[in-house]
């Protein structure tokens, strides 16, 4: 579906990857505006971008004059504003379950391992690379292990996080697993996560959202 949506992002950011998946699942076209997080000291710190988001973080979604920040708020906005496949179930308890999976990733895994935090450990606290790797592995393994257990607390165990349609929780889970693989986390203790990952990756909405398929990804 045509839309006036613009996504400010970066190919490798897992928070942006979530939003790309949601846009694709909803069947919404959008303009992709890359913000390079590393070159030129980080374009997210430039005044033009800070005017869009004082947090100096991506993603940011623009819908006409409206500026929406925070990946989960963006995805809930898409769900509330556009037709297309539902990203959240109907029952309030099921909605809460799906949101809890998303938040267990968005609050309890991802913020501990993102670029600015690893830079702070390195530059400000002088933590050695081995210590930083241990830190990343620790929060990833602990977090994914809890999510593997959370997934089982559901009457609707299906091909995806909740039931037989991919949705909000999958849009959070797949980028987090992609990240875990970058950091060589052993996924064998997480059979549910592996199954869902494999089921999602074959879908066009997830394939098109992949970091390496973005226009700003380095050419192989």
Query: At which residue do the structure tokens 């069947």 appear?
Result: 27
Judged by CB under 8 A, does residue 196 bind its own copies?
Answer: no
Judged by CB under 8 A, does residue 47 bind its own copies?
Answer: no
Which residue, 117 or 203, is less far from its own copies as judged by CB?
A: 117
Phi and psi (nearest 5°) for 9?
-155, -170
Which residue, 133 or 216, is less far from its own copies as judged by CB?
A: 133
Nearest distance, CB of residue 28 and its own copies, angstroms: 14
Nearest distance, CB of residue 81 and its own copies, angstroms: 5
Give the integer Cα–Cα distance in Å for 171 and 17. Answer: 8
Which range touches its own copies (CB under 8 A), out of 147-155, 184-192, 199-207, 210-218?
Answer: 147-155
Q: Check: CB of residue 161 under 8 Å from CB of residue 101.
A: yes
Phi-psi region of 160 (alpha: psi -120 to 50; beta: other; left: phi over 0): beta
Burial-class residue 171 by CB neighbours within 10 Å (0-12, 13-18, 19+).
buried
Give the integer Cα–Cα distance in Å for 16 and 61. Answer: 10
Judged by CB under 8 A, does residue 81 bind its own copies?
Answer: yes
Give the integer Cα–Cα distance in Å for 206 and 96. Answer: 23
**Per-residue x/- track, 155-194, its own copies (CB under 8 A):** ----------------------------------------
Nearest distance, CB of residue 212 and its own copies, angstroms: 25
Neighbours of 152 (CB within 10 A): 8
Size of interface with its own copies, in residues (CB under 8 A):
47
- Structure tokens given for 142: 């602990």
Judged by CB under 8 A, does residue 95 bind its own copies?
Answer: yes
Candidate list 1, 38, 96, 198; residue touching its own copies; CB under 8 A = 96
Closest CA to 10 of 65, 60, 45, 51: 60
Point out which residues bind its own copies (CB under 8 A). 54-57, 63, 66-70, 72-74, 76-77, 80-81, 92-93, 95-97, 99-100, 103-104, 106-108, 110-112, 117, 120-121, 124-125, 127, 131, 134-135, 138, 145-146, 149-150, 153
């Amino acid at each position: 579906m045509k839309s006036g949506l613009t996504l400010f992002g970066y190919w490798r950011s897992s928070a942006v990857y979530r939003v790309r998946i949601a846009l694709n699942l909803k069947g919404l076209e959008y303009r992709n505006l890359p913000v390079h997080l590393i070159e030129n000291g980080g374009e997210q710190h430039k005044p033009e971008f800070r005017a869009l988001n004082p947090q100096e973080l991506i993603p940011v979604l623009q819908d006409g004059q409206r500026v929406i920040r925070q990946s989960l708020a963006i995805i809930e906005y898409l769900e509330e504003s556009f037709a297309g496949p539902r990203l959240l179930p109907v029952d309030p308890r099921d909605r809460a379950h799906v949101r809890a999976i998303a938040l267990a990733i968005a609050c309890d895994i991802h913020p501990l391992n993102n670029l600015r935090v690893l830079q702070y450990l390195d530059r400000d606290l002088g933590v050695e690379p081995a210590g930083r790797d241990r830190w990343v592995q620790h929060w990833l393994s602990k977090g994914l292990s809890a999510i593997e257990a959370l997934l089982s607390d559901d009457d609707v165990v299906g091909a995806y996080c909740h039931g037989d349609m991919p949705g909000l929780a999958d849009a959070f889970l797949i980028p987090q697993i992609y990240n875990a693989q970058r950091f060589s986390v052993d996924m064998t203790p997480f059979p549910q996560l592996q199954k869902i990952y494999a089921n999602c990756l074959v879908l066009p909405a997830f394939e098109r959202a992949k970091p390496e398929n973005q226009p700003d990804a380095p050419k192989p």
